[in-house]
Structures are given as C-alpha cells and as structure tokens.
Amino acid sequence: GEVSRDYAHVLTEAGMVYLELSQFKSAESMFQKALEIEKQIGGEKSDDYASYLCQLANVYREINEYDKAESTYKKALEIQESKGYEALVTYYELSVLYQLISNFSSAEEMCLKALARDEILFGKNSNNCLGDLNLLANNYTLLGNYDKALNIYLSIVEKGKEILGENSTDYAVYL
C-alpha cells in the first residue's frame, strides 16, 4: 500500500533519480511524500526519517536554498548524532554546504566531527578517514591556509599509500 516503508523507499529512489536529472521540484515532492509516510510509520525520530531529511536537504542545496538545506540537515543530525554511522554522511554534507556558502569555520567543525567519528568507528588508518582529511584540506585551501592544507594533503598521500597500497585506484585519487 501507499503507507508502507517499502513505498517510502521507492519514493526516495525516484527522488534520487529526479535529483540526478535536475528535476528538483519532482525530487522534492518524492522526498516530502516519503517523509510523510515515515512520520506515520516510524515517527520523526527514525533512521529512515533522518535519511529522507538528508535527501531533501540535498535538493535544497542544489537549488541554492541554503538556509532550508542547513535547517533540514540539522534536523536529521539531531536524530542521528546518538547513532554511529548515519551522522557521518550528514556531517560531510553539511561541510560541503558550509564550503559553498563560505562558512569555513562551520565546514571545519563538521569535517572534524566526521573525522572523529570515523576514527572511532573504523580506526585512524581507514579509507573513510582519508576522505574526511581530504575534505578538511580542501576547506583549508578555500580559506587560503595553504600550509595547513598542504600538510594534510601530504599526510593523506603517505597514509593512503600505507592503507590502500601503491597500486590501488583509490590511492591514485589522492595523488
């Protein structure tokens, strides 16, 4: 039926396709419908509800409605922060948003939160941490703090070689 978790998931999949096609109104509509269904089924504190909020926030970010994107990401984060992995994606997305609006101190804060959580969940020598460090270094580059950015980039190259191996395509991305 139309009030089921499966139907809500299908709506979000359709929403992601609309987002890829830059059909933002349709994407927004799909995510809002999924949110309404999840609100009825699992409530406003469920993991799925938070996930759908993040998807909706991605739409707002894409259409330059940055205030709506930020508040929607933050609603998702309120649900996710007590959990493990789910908050990582939202920290990352918020960091990207903050970089877009030149709020580099908030972007740095989100990068550092993601990094700290990744270190706890996956260890300091994980590929996830390399991605967080890369985003952090990018943030410092945008700030014009080139020395700090360069130190992090060099650290990523060194750690990436150790973690991923010289012949890894993932390692090549960091070169």
The answer to whether 37 touches 30, Cβ cutoff 8 Å, is: no
Angle (nearest 5°) at CA 117 between 113 and 120: 145
How many CB atoms neighbour CB 11 within 10 A?
A: 23
pLDDT at 119 over 70: yes
Euclidean distance between the first and the last CA atom of the chain, given in angstroms as a whole number: 50
User: Residue 38: which pLDDT band, with cuts at 50, 70 and 90?
Assistant: very high
- Read off the pLDDT band of 172 (50, 70, 90): low
From CA 30, how far away is CA 135, in angstroms rounded?
30
Say if residue 18's pLDDT is above 80.
yes
**What is the average pLDDT across 25-41?**
97
pLDDT at 99: 95
Question: pLDDT > 90: what percent of the chain?
Answer: 73
In this prediction, residue 11 carries a pLDDT of: 97
Calpha distance 133→120 (Å, rounded): 15
Read off the pTM: 0.86
Report, as an integer, the average pLDDT of 80-97.
87
Q: Which residues contact residue 146 at a Cβ distance below 8 angstroms, ignoring those fewer than 6 apart? A: 140
